[in-house]
Amino acid sequence: MEDKYNNELKKIFRADQLTNDVSALIVYSRDLNPLGTIFMQEGKTMPMPDIVVWPETIEQIQKLVVFANEHKVPLIPYGSGSGVCGGANPVGGGIIVDMKRMNRIRHIDPYSLVAEVESGIIGELFERELNAKGYTLGHFPSSIWCSTVGGWLAARSAGQLSSRYGKIEDMVLGIEAVMPDGDVLKTKVTPRSATGPDFKQLLVGSEGTLGIITSATLRINRYPESRRFNGIMFHTVKDALDAIRELMQTGIKPAAVRLYDEIDTFMIGSGKGSKKLLSSEQEDEHIEDLKKVIMKKAERMVLTIPSVVNSVIKLLPANNLLILTFEGTPRMTEAEQDIAVKIMNAHGGKDLGEEPGKYWWEHRYDVSFNLSPIYSIKAFADTIEVATTWDKLLLLYEKMRNAIGKHALVMAHFSHVYQEGGSIYFTFAASTYDEKKKEALYRQTWKDALDTAVSVGATISHHHGIGMLKAQWMDKEHGKAMEIYRQLKKVVDPNNIMNPGKMGL
């Protein structure tokens, strides 16, 4: 960016609020989408921003937006960079708008149980502040240490206790954003209303394409008086899904409901804490078989011949671990747990007691930090989260597992469930003998996976968002609604300054 831009920006921001230092620009050239890492391994760089700014007030953002419109410069809102779809990548250069200095909790209302918070606050810090006052947001994405409230809203985040507390879009009662023309949009805070379309739900999920979210008013909850845990082992994914469906359709609201398929069950049990997760009796011979097979085909060998490994795994008798947790008043969690365990038993689930659930609770954020080591062995890993109604969920699981399994070692868990269906979270890892084909393999795996999701009728993302990674599927996802989105984008942001090149717009 030319120096005169820099000088103009210095009229808006103090010197410590902006930088064009090249190391910063490299850091801000990417989010956690694995393509960024693959590119780095190949010595390629990603498009860099021209400058990074850290606004501290709404007024500064408004001035920045006016500046950006004048000079047709892209603005890329940035939370904590933990997105995995390239949503915060500055694909056409421009200005990274790092929101982390707008991190105040403006207001906690103990009477209505709502909190107004600025979008740049790190999730865990917000949660701790609430906990100290006796509340919880109830939103626990595994990225909670490295993601912001604004990022959650922009990409429709889900937390691990979504069955009880909902996704972030279910918690938002009011939103504030600087729009592409520099005006502030602030919706009325109300439990519900019947005054036209829900404009909150236009900004939520828009990943910075329609405006910069500056704050939100969120529902909070009393910190639960009691918390109960269960681990239930099922022989088949189908049995487990039947039991979960039955549970959710009774109208009970467990906090966490997470079903790991056999290889995912093995993986979460294979670390240093495996003894806690599964006692030696519970870790029966099937699991041992599975462990031996995977160990034998260790590291690159496993990952380069995924179809062999996946086939072998399928031949093994399986075990699938379901984690259930319950939160609330003691009377209610007792009743819920009792009903839940009866339903699980009726579907062939074996109650392992509270230890697996407690272990999961203590290690619930680890997954966000477990994928990096894969890269040190020159392989790559990623996650794909899709969702559909119960009638298609098992079919989706099988078809996508096959589609991904052609290219990669694949495991899955069912992480968010509802009365009408649920989401599947696939983790895959792969590599190639030919380093140069890594990107192609990565892209092909995604293509086969999402084409399959579309063919089954599932949504292509449950809680990670779209960014660049899934942009090409947006027309298939939305059909006519995508045209409305493009029309709206054009009229609201005629200079296309707001996070251009994303979402298939």
Site for a copy of itself in 438-477 (CB under 8 A): 457-466, 470, 474, 477
Q: Taking CB under 8 A as the criterion, which residues in 375-394 touch a copy of itself?
A: 387-391
Among 11, 251, 272, 434, binds a copy of itself (CB under 8 A): 251
Between 170 and 288, name the residue whose CB sits nearer to a copy of itself: 170
Does 311 participate in binding a copy of itself (rule CB under 8 A)?
A: no
Among 207, 262, 264, 382, binds a copy of itself (CB under 8 A): 207
Residues of the chain by 3-state class (helix, strand, coil), percent to 5: 45, 20, 35
**What letter does residue 220 receive in the DSSP assignment?**
-
Tell the smallest beta-carbon distance from residue 78 to a copy of itself (Å): 18
Residues forming beta bridges with residue 323, ordered by sequence position = 231, 258
Does 179 participate in binding a copy of itself (rule CB under 8 A)?
A: yes
Between 135 and 266, name the residue whose CB sits nearer to a copy of itself: 135
Between 263 and 400, name the residue whose CB sits nearer to a copy of itself: 400
d(CA 341, CA 231): 10
Does 421 participate in binding a copy of itself (rule CB under 8 A)?
A: yes
Among 37, 119, 423, 452, binds a copy of itself (CB under 8 A): 423
Part in contact with a copy of itself (CB under 8 A); list of ranges 216-224, 259-267, 279-287, 354-362: 216-224
Taking the alpha carbons of 267, 262, 453, 297 in that order, is the dihedral positive or negative? positive
Part in contact with a copy of itself (CB under 8 A); list of ranges 55-63, 227-235, 305-313, 333-341: 333-341
d(CA 145, CA 143): 5
Does 364 participate in binding a copy of itself (rule CB under 8 A)?
A: no
State phi, psi for 78 to the nearest 5 degrees.
-140, 125
Among 2, 4, 7, 111, binds a copy of itself (CB under 8 A): 111
What is the bridge-based pairing of β-strands 105-109 and 114-118?
antiparallel
Residues forming beta bridges with residue 221, ordered by sequence position = 136
Does 114 participate in binding a copy of itself (rule CB under 8 A)?
A: yes
Does 292 participate in binding a copy of itself (rule CB under 8 A)?
A: no
Whole-Å CA distances, 41 to 37, 89, 155, 376, 380: 6, 18, 27, 10, 10
Please count the residues of this chain forming the interface with a copy of itself, following the rule CB under 8 A.
Answer: 94
Tell the smallest beta-carbon distance from residue 353 to a copy of itself (Å): 22
Part in contact with a copy of itself (CB under 8 A); list of ranges 39-47, 166-174, 316-324, 407-415: 166-174
Q: Which of 148, 315, 132, 145 is nearest to 218 (CA)?
A: 148
Cα distance from N-terminal residue to C-terminal residue, the chain? 25
Does 155 participate in binding a copy of itself (rule CB under 8 A)?
A: yes
Does 341 participate in binding a copy of itself (rule CB under 8 A)?
A: no
Q: Which of 274, 290, 286 is nearest to 409 (CA)?
A: 290
Tell the smallest beta-carbon distance from residue 203 to a copy of itself (Å): 7
Three-state secondary-structure class, residue 152:
helix
Between 259 and 474, name the residue whose CB sits nearer to a copy of itself: 474
Tell the smallest beta-carbon distance from residue 262 to a copy of itself (Å): 24
Among 112, 279, 372, 455, binds a copy of itself (CB under 8 A): 112
Between 49 and 504, name the residue whose CB sits nearer to a copy of itself: 504
Between 208 and 405, name the residue whose CB sits nearer to a copy of itself: 208
Does 345 participate in binding a copy of itself (rule CB under 8 A)?
A: no
Complete DSSP assignment for 74-138:
-EEEESSS--SSSTT--BTB-EEEE-TT---EEEEETTTTEEEEETTSBHHHHHHHHHHTTEE--
Output b/e per residue, 7-28; b: 16+ Cβ within 10 A.
eebeebbeeebbbbeeebbeeb
Part in contact with a copy of itself (CB under 8 A); list of ranges 15-23, 59-67, 187-195, 441-449: 187-195
